[in-house]
Each structure stands twice: as C-alpha cells, then as structure tokens.
Amino acid sequence: MSASNSSVTSSVQSHNHAPTEGEQPPMPQLETLISHLVAAKRSLSSINHLWRANEIVTSARSSLEESVVVSARAGFLRRGLNNQLRLLYSVRAEVEEVSVRGRSEFADVLRSLDGADARLKKTLNLLRETIVHASFRPEGEDPKCLHDFVDERGVEELNTRLKASIDRTNATQAELETSNCAFDDELKSIKEALGNYRTATKLASSRTSASSASSSVSNASLPSLSSIPSMLHSLEMHAQEMANLLESLVRHFDLCVTAVKHTEGGGAAARSITGDMPAGMNVSGRVGPNIEDGINANLNAPLDPLSGSEYREMVNVLIKDATEAEDVVMEIQDRIGEMETILESVLGQRDALLSVYSATTSVYEHISSLATARLPGYIAEAHNFTRVWNEEHDSIQGGLADLSDLNALYDCFLEAYDGLILEVSRRRHVRHRVEKVLRDARQKLDLLYQEDVNAREAFRVDQGDYLPSDIWPGTGREPMRIEFQRISGGNLKGLQAEDPAAEDVTQVNPKEEPRHPPGSNDDGELIPELPKALVEQAIARLKARSRNSL
C-alpha cells in the first residue's frame, strides 16, 4: 500500500459531499465503502500473527543462547572424554597383558611340572618293576622291589606343596579373569553409550542438512551452530516486515473509517462496525506504534471538512488499497509460515544438540562412575595377581628343582642297583681267582713239604745211627707246615662302623670248618651267586643310560 494514504486526511466540511454538474462520475455507494471497511477490520486480525512472530523471535533467541551453552559444554566434555577413553583402554590393555603373560608363564611352568612329574613317575614305576634278587635278601623273606626301599613321604609332601601353589595361583587367576570380564562389561556399556552418542550426532547432522535444504533463508548449507544466528536474523527481518505490513493495514482501516464517516449515512455504520474492535491490538514498541490507541483516537476524533476533490482522491486511494489488502494479509501469513518453518529448524538443531549433549553426559557418567568406583579395584586385582604369581612362581620353581633332584636320586638308585649286580659279579670273580691261587699254592707247598719229609727220613736212616742225639736237637724234627688264615674284612673307608654287613676281624682256621650263612665263603663274607642273565641285563641298562646321557 502507498504511504501517501496518511495525507488524505485534511479538513472536510461537516455536511455530506454531493457531486455538482461537470464533476467526475459518482463515487462508490456507501454499501461498497462499508464492505471495504468490514474487510479492513477483518484484516486487522493479522495482529495475532504479529504476536506469534514476536514469540517466535523470542523462542529462537532463547534457543540460540541455549544451543551455544550446550554446544560449548558438549565440546568441552567431548575433548575430555577422548583423553579419558584413551587412558581407559590403555589400562584395560595393560591389565589384559598382565593376565595373558601370567597365563602363559603359568602354562609353561605347569608343562615343566608335568614333564618332571611324568619322569619321576616313570622312575618310580621302574623301581616297582625292579625286583631285588633273592640272593641279596635273607632266606625265606617275601620278594621285594627297589621301591620298597624308597620313602615316598618326601614325594607326597612335595606334591602337596606344589598343589597348594597351583591352587592358589588358579584361584587368583580366576579372580583376575572375573575382574577382567566385569571390566569388559563396563567397556561394553561405554561402547553402547558411545553408540548412542554417534547416533545422536548423525541425527543432528541429518537434521542440520534437512533444515538447510528446506530453508530458503540462505543458499549456504547449515551444518553447524553457526547457521542459527543467520536464521535468527531472518526471523527478525520477517517480524519487522510483518509489523510494517500491519501498519499499512491499520492505515487502510483508518482510511476506510474516514471515508465511511464522510459519506452520507455512514457515521452510524462506522460506529457500529468499529464498536466491537477485537481486544489485544497492541504491538510492541519494537515493531511499531500502539495501534490500538491510534485506532481509537481515529474513531473518536472529530471529522475535518473535505473538499470534493479531496474526498474523491481519498476514495480512489481506498479502492486501490482495498485491492491490495488481501495480498498484504496473504504476505503476512506467508511470512509467519516461513517463520514457523525456520523456528522448527532452529528448535530441531537445538534439540539435536541437546540430544548430543545428553549422549555425551551419559558417556561421561559411565566413565566417571567406572574411574571413581570400580577401576581402582580392577587395577588392584591385576597387581594382586602379579604379586601372588611372583610368590608362587618361586615356590613352584623350587618344587620343580626338588622333583628333578628326587628323580635324579631315584635314577641313581636304579643305576646303583645295576652297579651292585656288577660289583657282586666282580667280587665273585676275584674270589674265584683268589681260591685258584690258594689251591695252586697249597699244591706246591704240599709237594715241597712231602719232598722235605722224604729227604729228612732218608738222612735219618743213613746217618742217624752215627750222630749223637744231643748234637742238634732239630735233627729228628719234621719240617714246618704252612696254614692259610682267613680274616673277614672290616669297614671300607667312609662306611659307618655300625654297618651290619661289617664284622670284627676274625681269624678262621680252615681245619675247624666254621659255620657260615649259605652262599658265604669261609671268612663269612656273603657274595651272592647271581644268574648270568641278570648280570647281562644290568650291563645293558647301564650302557643304555650312558648313551642317553650323551
């Protein structure tokens, strides 16, 4: 509408205007002017859109302020969370490394223990399978194996000690695994919260993209918070334009009231039409003057006289503006619709930021709760496992050394028994050689003795009658005789005197035929008679051990 409408209100005559001869065609009838006045009054209901525009601008400004605060808080939390997440996963990796390394070392130790235990059991089985030859034992005794001479209490005590160390390690390892599983559950919960955060972030991006595509405020995309100020500026411009449009409608209404009142019979109609003006016509001083006061002042103001040309000019302007009033109302509606769309986009971006902030705080709360309440326990469990494992590892290593020593001792026992068989065989061989020497010596001594006796007897026969008996007392004596004396052996160097196999030195006269245990020699030494096959088996076993040790 033209702004020149305000200039048409000049002084008029108080009587009704009537055209004279030679003037232009008659002006519109009163009914036409009244219809325009009614339409103008109806258009003033657009004041509600102006009120809504003011609410939209206020809401958008509040949303912008809230979005700025929320975005700053979310950004601050997000930067802190990145560091906390890296630290958290680093702690989990270290705890897992402790668990994996402990399991690996424990498994290696158990394999070593199993190997040592298997070797010891194999050696013990060999002791059980090796029957002591009956010639080594007293007559009538039940058969015994080498294992009967072994005290297994040391083995049982060692196994009990190792089992206690293994059980304690297993229990501590199970506690660590339970702790790590709980830690993983915590991380899973945090991952779910992070998934919600990523979903909220994607939704925020999609909302921003959608608002950018649907809004005609700017040709640029609106991917971030920086787009909201431009939308707020657009809302303010729309609100200002709507206020200007409403002011033009008010001026048109004023013009219609003036025209009706200056038309014959229109005063009462004008008062009737304007008597029930809708309440709440005020608008804020930001967007225009107090419209209601202006309208009321115009309705109650006295009429100024108008000339015919002035009246015609006013009516012409009114007719022209009446054709444009509907367009003005439509423009106000379009602008309020555009503002609603922009506000929806602003609120959508604000809600998206709030959603992102909520998801961010959820992640933060998960991590904060974990770090303050449960994370120290998970770390302490890893330290406890390391401490216990170090203690038990030393104990198990000591037990492993003891198992190896026992196995070596029993192996030496087996080897010593085979050596004993060979030693007995050697002693019998030596004894056979001694007996042979003794037999040979006895034969030679007996031969010399007999020769000496025969020679002395011949001398006595030939010369004895001629020699006085007192010339040499030994003339008639027999030659000496040699007898062998067997003396039982004492203790070898390094053996205890209380060894039951050792006896005091005893002289044995072979003529007296002393009694000895079966299988013993005349000097009381017991040298068993072993089968040749037993000796050969012992030799074979010793050779096999010698090859295996190379």
Mean pLDDT of 378-404: 93
Mean pLDDT of 420-425: 93
Q: Is 208's pLDDT higher than 60? A: no
**Highest mean pLDDT: which of 135-149, 201-215, 355-369, 378-392?**
378-392
3-state secondary structure of 141: coil
CA distance 196 to 362: 9
Q: What is the pLDDT of residue 262?
A: 61
Query: Looking at per-residue confidence, does 146 or 548 come out higher?
Result: 146
Q: What is the pLDDT of residue 242?
A: 85
Q: Model confidence over 213-228: pLDDT tens digits?
A: 333 323 322 336 667 7
326, 42 in Cβ contact below 8 A?
Answer: no
3-state secondary structure 75-132: HHHHHHHHHHHHHHHHHHHHHHHHHHHHHHHHHHHHHHHHHHHHHHHHHHHHHHHCEC
Q: What is the pLDDT of residue 550?
A: 66
417, 146 in Cβ contact below 8 A?
Answer: yes
400, 112 in Cβ contact below 8 A?
Answer: yes
3-state secondary structure of 447: helix
Phi, psi of 264 (to 5 degrees): -55, 130
Confidence at 250, pLDDT banded by 50, 70, 90? confident
Q: Model confidence over 468-486: pLDDT tens digits?
A: 878 888 888 899 998 888 8
Mean pLDDT of 323-331: 80
259, 33 in Cβ contact below 8 A?
Answer: yes
Q: What is the pLDDT of residue 266?
A: 58
Mean pLDDT of 517-524: 51
Confidence at 289, pLDDT banded by 50, 70, 90? very low
Mean pLDDT of 437-448: 94
Query: Looking at per-residue confidence, does 322 or 10 come out higher?
Result: 322
Confidence at 429, pLDDT banded by 50, 70, 90? very high
Position 144, amino acid: K
Average pLDDT, rounded, for the chain: 77
Least confident piece of the model among 172-186, 336-350, 438-452, 517-531: 517-531
Mean pLDDT of 453-467: 88
Q: What is the pLDDT of residue 378?
A: 92
How many residues appear in the chain?
550
Q: What is the pLDDT of residue 307?
A: 61
Least confident piece of the model among 120-124, 264-268, 306-310, 425-429: 264-268
Query: Looking at per-residue confidence, does 286 or 123 come out higher?
Result: 123
Q: Model confidence over 115-151: pLDDT tens digits?
A: 999 999 999 999 999 999 988 888 888 999 999 998 8
Position 312, amino acid: R
84, 371 in Cβ contact below 8 A?
Answer: yes
Q: Model confidence over 496-518: pLDDT tens digits?
A: 444 444 333 323 333 333 344 44
Give the tokens for residue 538: 């012992």
Confidence at 114, pLDDT banded by 50, 70, 90? very high
What residues contact 66, with CB distance under 8 A and at least 6 apart?
350, 354
Confidence at 284, pLDDT banded by 50, 70, 90? very low
CA distance 107 to 118: 16
Q: Is 268's pLDDT higher than 90? A: no
Q: What is the pLDDT of residue 497?
A: 44
Q: What is the pLDDT of residue 138?
A: 87
Percent of the chain residues topping a pLDDT of 90:
31
Mean pLDDT of 370-375: 87
State the pTM of this model: 0.60
Reference 231, options 52, 75, 59; nearest CA is 59
Mean pLDDT of 231-258: 82
Mean pLDDT of 178-207: 83
Q: Where are the domains of the chain?
A: 30-133+163-402
Q: What is the pLDDT of residue 312?
A: 67
Confidence at 264, pLDDT banded by 50, 70, 90? low
Q: What is the pLDDT of residue 372?
A: 85
CA distance 83 to 481: 112
